[in-house]
Structure formats: structure tokens, C-alpha cells
Structure 1
Amino acid sequence: MEQIGNMKLYSFEEVKDELIGKVGTPERDEHERKVAEAVHAYHIGEAIKKARLLQNLTQEQLGERVGVKKAQISRLERGYSITIPTMSRVFKALGISTATLDLGIGGKVALW
């Protein structure tokens, strides 16, 4: 904390420690896990959107191929409601024939 006159200024790390918990605590670990999940889901959504746009498809057209409504495609592209079965259907509908999941030390697993 730094004080300038009557104002107290806290670093971002100090605020996170106070609101979420210190590094290494179960609360902080859970928060960091959720943030990492959200970031990964966002990247998957971006990949879906990029592949769709490269094929000049609208969300509605991709939804018709997958068998879902436009709103579901929109949610997927924003990183929401992504499951492996849904991801598989979407990428197959986009003509992406294979995908692997990298499990780190567990190796790689073919998704489809």
C-alpha cells in the first residue's frame, strides 16, 4: 500500500489477495482455475468464429448445419456453453475433420 496525502493506493495484487485470497489458498486456487477455464473457452469460441468467417457463413447458417439456433452459435463463439460433444458437432459442421486434446503429461487424445 502506498499513501498519497489522505488517499491509500493499493496494488492490483493486494486487492486480489484481499478479495479473492492469498496465492496458494483454496479460494485463490479455485478462482485461478475458473479464470483459466474461461480463457480457454474464449479461445475455443474465437476458433469457431474464425473458422465460420473463413467459410463466409453466418451464425444462422452454421446453426442450421449443426442443428441449433443462431443464439447457441453466438454463445459458443463468446465462450459459453462449450462442451466436447457440442464442440465436436460444430467443428465437424465446419469441415474440420480431426482434433486432439493435449493433456500435458497425460498425452494427447483424439477427440474425433
Structure 2
Amino acid sequence: MEKSEIKSYSLTEMKDKYIGQIGTKEREEYEYELRMDVLGRMIKTARQERNLTQEQLGELVGVQKSQISKLESSANSATIDTILRVFKALKAEINFNVKLEEQFIKLA
């Protein structure tokens, strides 16, 4: 029996092939959704580490429990202001880095 070689692909190659090349609308939407999903999971993890329910966090932030639930499942529907208020209520530090024409601006 002859061993056949299996071709392996990197994650980037798979994304390029099945989602779209970097710079395409499809790829940009995918990457955005992925970042928002990660942000939502970060909110949930921080909340759980503080032993808070969604309702308790909502009260601290001034929003309904349902909005906290939506944030945790995918933060793409939230405003930056709401996200900042959530992390402040969680006593968690969050930083945003913005790059404008080769110059970084850090928002804390």
C-alpha cells in the first residue's frame, strides 16, 4: 500500500478560498462579525468572573437584561458608548487602537 500525501492548508488560505480575499466585502464582513463575537465572549467572561447576572450588569449599565444577552451573543448591535459603559461597570479596562495614515491613536 502506498501512502498518499495529504495537502494541508493554512487558515488564511481557507478563508481566502471559501470566504473571499482580504479587502473583499465578504471577507471584511466575516472579520467584523468575528471580532464582535470575540468581544461578546469577553463581556460574558468578565461578567461571570465578577459573579454578576445579566440582569445585575444591565442595572449597573442602565440597560435591560435582554441587551446584555444580545451583547454577549454578538456585540455588533451595540454602540461603542454602551460597550464602554459595560466594561466600566465590570471594572475592566478596554482600549481601542485606531490607525490613521500610518499614525496610531489610542482610545482608552
Fold in common (TM above 0.5): yes
Please provide the CA RMSD for this pair. 2.4
Q: Runs (4+) of structure 1 moved beyond 2 Å? A: 102-106
Please state whether the residue corresponding to 1:95 is helix, strand or coil.
coil
The normalised TM-score by structure 1 is 0.69
Post-superposition CA distance 1:39-92 (Å, at most 9, x none) = 000111011000000011110110111111111000000114122111111001
Q: Which has the higher contact order (CA 8 A, sep 6+)?
A: 2
Which consecutive unaligned segments of at least 5 residues does structure 1 have?
A: 1-11
1:64 & 1:46 partners in 2: Cα distance?
Answer: 19
Amino acid corresponding to residue 47 of structure 2 in structure 1: R
Range with bigger deviation, 48-57 or 78-87: 78-87
- Indicate if the aligned counterparts of 1:102 and 1:108 stay in contact, CA closer than 8 A: yes
Percent sequence identity over aligned pairs? 38
Report the TM-score when normalising by structure 2.
Answer: 0.71
Gaps of 5+ in 2: 1-14
For this pair of structures, how many residues does the alignment match? 91
Match of residue 24 from structure 2: 29
Tell me if structure 1 keeps the 8 A contact 2:21–2:27: no
Please point out which of 48, 51, 58 is paired with 1:56: 51
